[in-house]
Amino acid sequence: MTGGLDALPPLREVIAAHGLSARKALGQNFLLDLNLTGKIARQAGDLPACDVLEIGPGPGGLTRALLAEGARHVVAVERDPRCLPALAEIAAACPGRLTVLAGDALAIDPGAHLTPPVRIVANLPYNVGTELLVRWLTPAVWPPFWQSLTLMFQREVAERIVAAPGSKAYGRLSILAQWRTVPRITFDLPPRAFTPPPKVTSAVVHLARLEEPRFPADAATLSRVVALAFGQRRKMLRASLKPLGPDVEDLLLSVGIPPTERAEQVSLEAFCALARAVAAAGR
Ligand code: SAM
């Protein structure tokens, strides 16, 4: 499946030839080690059967790995126009298998270029990574257009995604991720794995979507309840959830949550029960 990829120059040469000095404002920390890019691509699962959406291909290290692992078609969204000639060389080496969309991933809808099943794989720019993840986890309809997300984050963000109740990292991101996906941290990458090295350790997180949410709840209501609860995470729920109505203590008690509890202690199942009670009360 490597096709003409083997004939491409090494990434360091590509970076030098196209003057791709890393820009901090674009979250540019490049992965040049083929063993690592291959390892990330393999975490994503069955690529030959899938289209892959990659955000921020940069000089194309991970893009090459996705193609080498046999991805049927890769759609890559890149904001930095300096990277486009390097990506065009990869596209030329794999005719018909790489589509590059130039622009901001927060503004572009790549849907028209993708055929299901779709997997999303990215070494995300840190400045937009969490926002993209929240968007992918909160589409208008479920199941979403993607089967799985395989994403690089700062280790601290990865821990928030997989955190259990009672831990400091547990919060809105944990609930959104664990309600409708099975998230797991697959491996860590030290700063020295990147060029230039970031300040912190990174981790790859794989999130496999569930066809049905783990517990029933209206998505918008659950999102609102969790945002309120964790917006003031050190407060008791009877205080942080006051905007839900004057009878918030009754709502909490009706689903077995002590009103003096803090958001950090409340399980995903209990938050879903609370969201159902809030919706039933017309809030
Ligand atoms: N995938 C490459 C790798 O692994 O070496 C580069 C990863 S680098 C951490 C993040 C990439 O995302 C950069 O190429 C950067 O230009 C791009 N980027 C930053 N903000 C973006 C945005 N809003 N939309 C699309 N790409 C963006």
Given 209, 235, 251, which residue is the final one in a domain? 209
Nearest in space to 189 (alpha carbons), one of 18, 31, 25? 31
- Rounded-to-10 torsion of CA 197, 202, 206, 207: -120
**The domain boundary residue, chosen from 167, 191, 209:** 209
Q: What distance in Å separates the CA atoms of residue 189 and residue 199, rounded to the nearest whole number?
A: 12
CATH code at position 227: 1.10.8.100
CATH number at residue 183: 3.40.50.150
What is the spatial distance between Cα 72 and Cα 1, in angstroms, rounded to a whole number?
10
Residue 12 counted as domain residue = yes
Report the separation in Å between the CA atom of 85 and the middle of ligand 1, taken as the mean of its atom positions.
15
Residues 167 and 227 in one domain: no
Claim to verify: residue 121 and residue 33 sit in the same structural domain:
yes
How many domains would you assign to the chain? 2
Q: Rounded to the nearest whole angstrom, what is the distance from the C-alpha of residue 101 to the centroid of ligand 1?
A: 12
Residue 104 lies in a domain: yes
Kindly state whether residues 101 and 197 are assigned to the same domain.
Answer: yes
35 occurs within a structural domain: yes
pLDDT at 54 over 80: yes
78 marked as part of a ligand binding site: yes
**Element at 67 (helix H, strand E):** helix 61-68
**Whether residue 39 sits in one domain with residue 163:** yes
Position 127 scores a pLDDT of 82
Pocket (CB within 6 angstroms of ligand 1) = 26-31, 55-58, 61-62, 77-80, 83, 104-106, 123, 125, 128
Per-residue pLDDT tens over the stretch 99-145: 999 999 999 999 999 999 999 999 998 889 999 999 999 999 999 99
Instruction: Give the distance (Å) from ligand 1 centre to CA of residue 79.
Output: 7
> Do 203 and 249 belong to one domain?
no
Average pLDDT on 218-224 reads 96
| Per-residue confidence (pLDDT) for residue 1, from 0 to 100 | 52
Q: Kindly report the protein residue whose alpha carbon is nearest to atom 1 of ligand 1.
A: 57
Q: Are 38 and 132 found together in one domain?
A: yes
d(CA 81, CA 70): 26
167 lies in the same domain as 140 = yes
ipTM: 0.99
Here the tokens at position 42 are 């393999």
Establish whether 247 is an annotated binding residue: no
Tell me the per-residue pLDDT of 151-194, one tens digit each, with 9 for 90 and over.
999 999 999 999 999 999 999 999 999 999 999 999 999 999 99
Instruction: Decide if 27 is inside a domain.
Output: yes
Whether 130 and 263 share a structural domain: no
To which residue do tokens 């030290």 refer? 190
Residue 126 has a pLDDT of 80
What pLDDT, on the 0 to 100 scale, is given for residue 59?
Answer: 97
Say yes or no: 157 and 251 in one domain: no
Residue 52 · residue 75 · CB < 8 Å = yes
- The answer as to whether 69 is a domain residue is yes
56 labelled ligand-binding: yes
Tell me the residue range of the domain where 32 lies: 3-209
Q: What is the DSSP letter of 211?
A: S
Q: How far is the CA of 121 from the centre of ligand 1 (A)?
A: 12
Nearest alpha carbon, ligand 1 atom 21: 79
Average pLDDT across the chain, whole number? 96
Give the pLDDT band (50/70/90) at residue 72. Answer: very high
The residue whose CA is least distant from atom 6 of ligand 1 is 58
Q: Which residue among 180, 209, 238 closes a domain? A: 209
Residue whose Cα lies nearest atom 5 of ligand 1: it is 30
Predicted structure pTM score = 0.95
Supply the pLDDT for residue 125. Answer: 85
Residues 160 and 250 placed together within one structural domain of the fold:
no
Say how far apart CA 251 and CA 274 lie, in whole Å. Answer: 7
214 lies in a domain?
A: no
Judged on CB neighbours under 10 Å (0-12, 13-18, 19+), 150 is buried
Answer yes or no: do 44 and 165 share one domain. Answer: yes
Query: Do 27 and 86 sit in the same domain of this protein?
Result: yes
